[in-house]
Amino acid sequence: MQNAPLLRVEDLKVEFPTRRGRLVAVDGVSFDIAPGEVLGVVGESGAGKSMTGSAIIGLLEPPGRIAGGSISLDGRRIDNLPYEEMRKIRGKHIGAIFQDPLTSLNPLYSVGKQLVETIETHSDLSPTQARERALALLREVGIPAPERRIDQYPHQFSGGMRQRVVIALALCANPRLIVADEPTTALDVSIQAQIIALLKRLCREHGTAVMLVTHDMGVIAETADRVAVMYAGRVAEIGPVRDVIKNPKHPYTVGLMGSIPRIGRDEERLTQIEGSMPRLTEIPTGCAFNPRCPLVFDRCLRDRPDLIDVGPFHRVSCWKYAEGVGHA
Amino acid sequence: MIAFVIRRLLQSLIVMLVVGFVAFSMFNFLGDPINNMVGQDATEEDRENLRVALGLDKPFYVQFLVYLSNAVQGNFGTSYRLGMPVVDALADRLPATLELVFCAAGLALLVGVPLGVYTGLHRDRWLSKVFLTLSLVGISLPTFLIGILLILFFAVQLGWLPSFGRGDVVDLGFWSTGFLTASGLKALILPSVTLALFQLTLVMRLVRAEMLEVLRTDYIKFARARGLSNRAVHFGHALGNTLVPVITITGLQIGSLIAFAIVTETVFQWPGMGLLFLQAVQFVDIPIMSSYLILIAFFFVAINLVVDLLYYFVDPRLRADRAVAGGH
Amino acid sequence: MADVTAPPGALRRFVDSDVFYSFRQSKVTVVAAIVTAIIVIGAFLGPWIAPHDTYDVRSLNLLDAFTPPVWSEGGNPSYLLGTDDQGRDVFSTILLGARVSLLVGFAATLFAMILGVLLGLISGYVGGTTDAVIMRIADIKLSFPAILIALLIDGVARGIIPRDMHDDLALYVVIFAIGISNWVAYARTVRGSTLVEKNKEYVQAARIIGLHPFTIMIRHVLPNVLGPVLVIGTLGLAGAILAEATLSFLGVGVPPTRPSLGTLIRVGNNFLFSGEWWMTIFPGVMLVILVLAVNLLGDWLRDALNPKLR
């Protein structure tokens, strides 16, 4: 934030045309990611966080499409590039990690072949050099005996090992940004921590920025520098992780924090948010959270709130914090 | 590998035994062989003597074993209608059918697979829609009608190609082939096209469906996310995975060509096994019918075995005995 | 009386459903449905709306044989599409032939469906040896093309049934032969769903409270597989009509006294080279239109019921 942002997303809108009109899955989302920074994006399923990630790597599943706003990498707009141009950015400048390591790897290609193929796509290395690099990557992500493992097929690897391979694949061309979509959700709890630690270490070493999409607040707290909380396709609150967790402003974030159990606190029971996120067809006017908000007042039903500064780098979209409206 | 082959061979053997039993039951219980062999004026004593001579007085399972051992030695009895050994009748007709099936299968695969790949990759292009519509027409056109129409146009109207028979064949001693003469090759065209058309549309639709299925998978999305070229994604990752199920079904389809040849051979008066079988059905010539059944079963078992072996080489997951999946 | 004009709930839900929406969106499908409906109704009413009773030998006039269609030279206005070698009106024979084709098609498909669903349920639910045996039979059956099985059954039937009864029973033999050669697809689908449902908790729970799990299977598995079974059934109907036509064309199907479309094409084929094309082409066109329309419906149904494609 001090330096020029690596990734800038401005007023991004993602739509799906359906027979009952257009569904707006992402509605006016804006955020920056600085070089080397880890931005956590958290929210319930359907909040639009994965969709934002797909839009950034330019792989929205049709008929979904970017209907407005812009995405820039290093000051260059990438949301309107032709497919071939964008393809050269994918993998080389923006890497991706998906949720399920079991299905992310082609079962018919050996792990080495998938690595070498990716390395050769983005560099001028000879086949021998590419294989050397593949071995080095496997070693780096902590695969034991890479010389033996490199010629094996995905089904011969365990889930955790496969996710390490996926991370190696994402790092092939030393991208400056990695979009990691729920990278640990499909894994055993015991392995989740290892994978998160690995991702964190590698990104620190390589200076890679990460957009970490997850619904797990614990993973965010441990890994991210900043966090964006998404709700119904919009950013509800964004700020440094510490501030958001210690001092959540948006009623939704407050509820989200209240639902995480903490050790050493004298809480009788966990708070929970009443109701559920509206379906994309039924988003109310005004603030999308208004049907569930305990602090709702008339303006929330009428106008849609924008992000408002509530602290250094801490912004929230809630009328409660707008000037002159200090009550509830 | 060897264990795999032995297991498959055993399964094939069981299938052959079951089919052999069905054929034997038909042979034994339907047509009374004696009635068909002796003249009207044979005495009851003559019949009884023949019965003993043929072993028909023996217990059921002995007769079955005798039948099997005869079958293994290539002795399938004598055709009621032709009065010649079934083996000779079938051997006479075998080359005609196999050459026809070979040409049709080649045509169906060489045209069907590329069309399927094209329509799968470019599902929204108008040309794909044309192919798809045509394929539905192809599936709805009965084989015999295609043959009739082709004869009407190319043989009757234009007079370019013969409407029936094999043309001149060259006898190689064990095999009579139509591949070596101009008239033999010309005679092959219409029947091959007729026989191939239905299978061609099936292969095309199958490849297309598989292709669409594979293109939706995570590993294709991940391959795209790594910035691999369209060529690598489509013809490397996608096509490879598409062909795995296609191989099986194509194997079955080629087998069914041998049976569908019955119809084509009838329309074109092609002197193959199918025509022989159809005449056998009309005249209740049980020895020919049951032997044809066994022969077809043998072809199917052989094709299935080849398909399984192909599978084994294409899909590394089946070669799992090479290494055990590693731990975390 | 507002509630009288409002459509009943089920109908409204249907009209509002995604399936009906995708139906209306696809013009080809609508046309296919209309064509199918016209042919089915025409075939059903055949005996009453056909201009000539072609089954009645006394009404035939051999002098009228080989009349070309009405628009050709020598056409006769009372025979719209011409006549065949025995002076039968081609238009009427097509109507009555489609009736036979559809009858065999529907009956054979229904037979295959019931057999397949039952075997699939039993196979999936009982499991063990029963399952293994049924599925091995299905495998072996699948290795043999339906047309071959049907031919064999027909041949066997000819061996068993006395010659004078053969014509009367031929129709049932064909239905049985086509039905028995098509049950595997249903059985496999139903078996798969049964295996999934069987292990769900509500089935375990129902077992604990003493309900017979087979009842639950029927109540819960069947509704689940109704979609796929319907798709297989529709495409199977097209296949069965083709199979019947093929058998009849080969001369082992329904008897020539009650000709189906396939029989008509077989008979007409003998006169094709001498120029009497209408005896083959019109029944052929009818057959292709019918099968194509049913195939289009099945194809659309498969896409509409497959949520992955939407």
* A-interface mutation test, from B212, B226, B244, B315, most A Cβ less than 10 A away: B226
CB B195 within 8 A of CB B261: yes
Ramachandran angles phi, psi of B188, nearest 5°: -75, -25
- Whether A54 is in a domain gets the answer yes
Measure B219 CA to nearest chain A CA, in Å: 4
Instruction: Name the pLDDT band for A230 (thresholds 50, 70, 90).
Output: very high
Measured in angstroms, the CA of B265 and the nearest CA of chain C are apart by: 11
Torsional sign, CA C91, C93, C94, C96: positive
Q: What is the DSSP string of A8-23?
A: EEEEEEEEEEETTEEE
Q: Is the pLDDT confidence value at C107 over 80?
A: yes
CB contact, 8 Å: A19 with chain C? yes
C280, pLDDT greater than 50: yes
Q: Does A90 lie at the interface with B, CB-CB under 8 angstroms?
A: yes
Give the count of Cβ contacts less than 8 A between chain B and C.
109
- Residue C160 above 70 pLDDT? yes
- Among A221-225, A298-302, B84-88, B192-196, which is the least confidently predicted range? B84-88
Q: Please give, rounded to a whole number of angstroms, the shortest distance from the CA of C310 to a CA of chain A.
A: 10
Edge to edge, what strands does the sheet with A65-73 contain? A21-33, A7-18, A65-73, A76-77
C222-250 helix and C184-198 helix, angle to the nearest 10 degrees: 170
Residue C62's pLDDT is what? 67
Asked if CATH classification 1.10.3720.10 holds for the domain at B88-320, the reply, yes or no, is yes
Peptide bond into A17 cis (omega under 30): no
* Angstroms from A165 CA to nearest CA on chain B: 12
Task: Determine contact: A155 vs chain C, CB below 8 A.
Answer: no
pTM of the entire predicted model: 0.79
| Option in B142, B152, B284 nearest C287 (CB) | B142
Residue contact A90–B314, C-beta within 8 A:
no
Neighbours of C116 (CB within 10 A): 26
Choose from A16, A19, A23, A61 for mutation: most chain C CBs within 10 A: A19
Position B326 scores a pLDDT of 37
Out of B222, B232, B326, the one facing A156 most closely (by C-beta) is B326
> What span, in angstroms and rounded, lies between the C-alpha atoms of C3 and C8?
9
pLDDT of residue C75: 67
pLDDT digits (tens, 9 = 90+) for C10-38: 666 666 667 777 777 778 888 888 888 88
What are the extents of the domains in chain B?
2-72, 88-320
- Find the mean pLDDT for residues C188-207: 80
Rounded to a whole number of angstroms, the distance from the CA of C28 to the nearest CA of chain A is 19
Residue of chain B nearest C247, judged by CA positions: B263
Nearest to C181 by CA among C241, C287, C108: C108
3-state secondary structure of A215: coil
The stretch C120-126 carries a mean pLDDT of: 85
- Across the range A95-111, mean pLDDT stands at 86
Which of A108, A114, A119 should one mutate to test binding to chain B, selecting the residue with the greatest count of B CBs within 10 A? Answer: A108
> How does DSSP assign B169-216, residue by residue?
-EE-SS-EESTTSHHHHHHHHHHHHHHHHHHHHHHHHHHHHHHHHHHT
Contacts of C124 (CB under 8 A, 6+ apart): C131, C190, C191, C192, C193, C194, C195, C198, C217, C221
Whether pLDDT at C2 is above 60: no
Q: What is the pLDDT of residue C195?
A: 82
- Looking at beta carbons, which residues of chain C come within 8 Å of B284? 155, 158-159
Q: Do A149 and B326 touch (CB under 8 A)?
A: yes
Question: Percentage of chain C surpassing pLDDT 70?
Answer: 83
Residue A2 has pLDDT above 60, yes or no: no
pLDDT at A137 over 70: yes
Residue A91 near chain B (CB below 8 Å):
yes
State whether residue C21 sits within 8 Å of chain A by CB.
Answer: yes
- Among chain B, residues having any CB pair with chain A shorter than 8 Å are 217-219, 221-230, 232, 236-237, 240-241, 244, 314-317, 320, 323-328
- Stronger pLDDT, C269 or C52, i.e. the higher one: C269
Please answer yes or no on whether C295 and B140 come within 8 Å at the CB atom.
yes
What one-character-per-residue DSSP string does B63-127 give? HHHHHHHHHHTT---B-TTT-SBHHHHHHHHHHHHHHHHHHHHHHHHHHHHHHHHHHHHTTTSHH
Taking the CA of residue C201 and the nearest CA in chain B, the distance in Å comes to 30
Tell me: the pLDDT tens digits for C167-180? 777 888 888 888 88
Chain B residues within 8 Å of chain C (Cβ atoms): 15, 18-19, 26, 30-31, 136-137, 139-145, 148-149, 151-152, 156, 212, 216, 252, 255-256, 259-260, 262-263, 266, 277-278, 280-282, 284, 286, 289, 293, 296-297, 300-301, 304
Place of tokens 């009207």: B40
CATH of residue A243? 3.40.50.300
How much is the pLDDT for C7? Answer: 46
Answer whether A169 sits within 8 Å of B222, measured CB to CB. Answer: yes
Q: Which of B217, B240, B244 sits opposite A103 (nearest CB)?
A: B217
Domain map of chain C by residue range? Answer: 22-50+89-309
What is the model's pLDDT at position A94? 92
A144, part of any domain? no
Does residue A281 register a pLDDT over 80?
no
Q: Shortest Cα distance from C55 to chain B (angstroms)?
A: 25
Residue of B nearest to A179 (CA): B225
Contacts of A90 in chain B (CB under 8 A): 224-227
Q: How many residues does chain C have?
A: 310
Residues in C closer than 8 angstroms to A19, CB to CB, are 18, 21, 25
Averaged pLDDT score across all residues of chain A: 86
Low-confidence stretches of chain B (pLDDT beneath 50): 321-328
Distance of CA A311 to the CA centre of its chain: 23
Q: Which residues contact B225 (CB under 8 A, 6 or more apart)?
A: A57, A59, A90, A91, A95, A96, A98
Domain C22-50+89-309 = CATH 1.10.3720.10: yes
Cα C16 to Cα C14: distance, rounded to the nearest angstrom: 5
Residue in C159, C252, C295 nearest the CB of B286: C159
Number of independent structural domains in chain A: 1
| Cβ within 8 Å, pair B225-A118 | no
C171, C175, C177, C182 alpha-carbon torsion, rounded to 10°: 160
Q: Which of A98, A161, A166 sits opposite B326 (nearest CB)?
A: A161
Please judge whether A155 and B320 are an interchain contact, meaning their C-beta atoms are less than 8 angstroms apart: yes
Q: CA of B279 to nearest chain A CA: how many angstroms apart? A: 48
CB atoms A155 and B324 under 8 Å: no
CA-CA-CA-CA torsion sign (A254, A260, A265, A271): positive
- Identify the residue with better confidence: A186 or A229: A229
CA atoms within 13 A on the CB side of A141: 26
ipTM of predicted assembly, 2 dp: 0.85
Minimal Cα distance from A16: which residue of C? C310
Alpha-carbon gap: C34 to the closest alpha carbon of chain A (Å)? 24
Range of the domain at A242: 1-86+177-187+208-272+303-328
CA distance A51 to A45: 10
Q: What angle (nearest 5°) sits at the alpha carbon of residue B241, between those of residues B239 and B244?
A: 110
Closest CA to B214 of B191, B200, B196, B235: B235
Q: Which of C143, C145, C148 sits opposite B304 (nearest CB)?
A: C143
Three-state DSSP class for residue C307: helix
Nearest CA in chain C to A17: C310
Q: Does C145 contact B256 at a Cβ distance shorter than 8 Å?
A: yes
* Chain-chain contact of C250 with B156 (C-beta, under 8 angstroms): no
Distance between CA atoms of residues A255 and A270, nearest Å: 10
pLDDT exceeds cutoff 60 at C183:
yes
Chain A residues with CB inside 8 Å of C18's CB?
19
Strand-pairing partners, residue A239, are A227
Between C291 and A259, the more confident residue is C291
- The single residue listed with the structure tokens 């459903």 is C17
| Least confident interval from A271-285, B84-98, B313-327, C282-296 | B313-327
Chain B contact set for A118 (CB, 8 A): 226-228
The C-alpha atoms of residue A237 and residue A235 are separated, in whole angstroms, by 6
Are A121 and B237 a contacting pair at CB < 8 A? no
Closest in B144, B216, B300 to C249, CB measured: B144
Residue C57 pLDDT level (bands cut at 50, 70, 90): low
- All partners of chain B with 3 or more CB pairs under 8 angstroms: A, C
Asked if residues A77 and A19 have their Cβ atoms less than 8 Å apart, the reply is no
Q: Which chain B residues contact residue A158 at CB under 8 A? A: 325-328
- Alpha-carbon gap, residue C32 to C26, rounded angstroms: 10
Is A75 domain-assigned? yes
Q: pLDDT exceeding 90 applies to what percent of chain C?
A: 7
Q: Is residue A215 part of a domain?
A: yes
Determine the pLDDT at residue B90.
85
Are C177 and C150 a contacting pair, CB within 8 Å? yes
> Taking 60 as the threshold, does the pLDDT of residue A169 lie above it?
yes
